[in-house]
Amino acid sequence: MKPIALTGIKPTGKPHIGNYLGMYRPALDLMENYQGMYFVADLHALTTMHDAATLKDLVYEVAASWLALGLDPDEAIFFRQSDIPEIPEFTWIMSCFTSKGLLNRAHAYKDAVDKNLELNRDPDEGINAGLFYYPVLMAADILLYGSDVVPVGLDQKQHIEITRDIAEAFNRTYGDVLKVPEGLIQESVMKVPGIDGRKMSKSYDNTIPIFAPEKKLRKQVMRIVTDSKRPEDPKDPDDDNLFALLRFFASPERLEEIRELYVGGGAAYGELKKELASLILEHFADARVKFDNLIQNKDYLDKVLLEGAQKARAMGKPYLQAARKATGLD
């Protein structure tokens, strides 16, 4: 069997172009050399998302997105995290090999504490223990199946390091039971700017959603922030988020033409935004049709996810059993 590439996507927002370029596409490309295991991380989402209907909807949106963007459920093992009952058990076992200090220093938790301190609040105000435990749950996700590589964005690097720490601590105690995974950091994630020029991210509300209705998608592209230069003014293409986005969707020849317009004068932002919107719609034309069909067909999505969960559970059982045995629980 091929080595395993595993990654999870948290269903906390509608899939956008940054997700596609930074996560979906690289993960799908990896399938050539790896067995893909891709899942919807709904247990992780629960640390922040406490609206049941929204969580449920977003799980379906993410599942439909994977399938629409080309994931073949006969090739990849594709599932929903909460369909794996071994995960909470494994999380607990892993937590007993996780130094608490490591969790204190995990970015998401530490940022929340720092924010409270800044506001002169109790350091842990409003922070649930799930957020604190987030890295342990993620380590369990990765270690349960003996994952070889974990393709993630730079923002997840620390989580991979924590995972490796946990696996090494376990193995130091009991011998070589767990596979210590490698992160496959997708540096390019950082380079997909949102419509305001910051990294494209749901938390900045600056995304271009892939599957929004055409009108909405176009409107969002028209909102891309540019400076106030007139069309005839020369502009620096390498310091412009509209150009940075065009780079991902225009053909090399067209991109070169646009670059010349920027440098020599003649690039009209409004026109180029319209062109970008059309390029995006064209690029995702098939996927958008597929998505619209899939999202109407929740029974099918449920079925695909459950079949995937069965395969994932079969992959995880030997590791759970080995861990139970090693620790004396079995």
Which of 47, 82, 156, 220 touches ligand TRP (CB under 6 A)? 156
Instruction: Report the residue number whose CB is nearest to ligand TRP.
Output: 8
Decide: is 141 part of the binding site for ligand TRP (CB under 6 A).
yes
Decide: is 10 part of the binding site for ligand TRP (CB under 6 A).
yes
Decide: is 148 part of the binding site for ligand TRP (CB under 6 A).
no
| Residue 219 C-beta: closest distance to ligand TRP, Å | 27
Are the CB atoms for 312 and 37 separated by under 8 Å? Answer: yes
Decide: is 7 part of the binding site for ligand TRP (CB under 6 A).
yes
Structure tokens that stand for 283 in this block: 């690029």
Decide: is 152 part of the binding site for ligand TRP (CB under 6 A).
yes
Decide: is 235 part of the binding site for ligand TRP (CB under 6 A).
no
Ranges within 24-53 binding ligand TRP (CB under 6 A): 41, 44
Chain center to CA of 180: 21
| Residue 59 C-beta: closest distance to ligand TRP, Å | 13
Report the DSSP beta bridge partners of residue 193: 199
| Residue 12 C-beta: closest distance to ligand TRP, Å | 8
Report the DSSP beta bridge partners of residue 9: 40
Q: Which is nearer to ligand TRP, 46 or 138 (CB)?
A: 138
Which of 30, 63, 138, 189 touches ligand TRP (CB under 6 A)? 138
The residues of the shown chain that bind ligand TRP, judged by CB under 6 A, are 6-8, 10, 41, 44, 138, 141-142, 150, 152, 156, 159
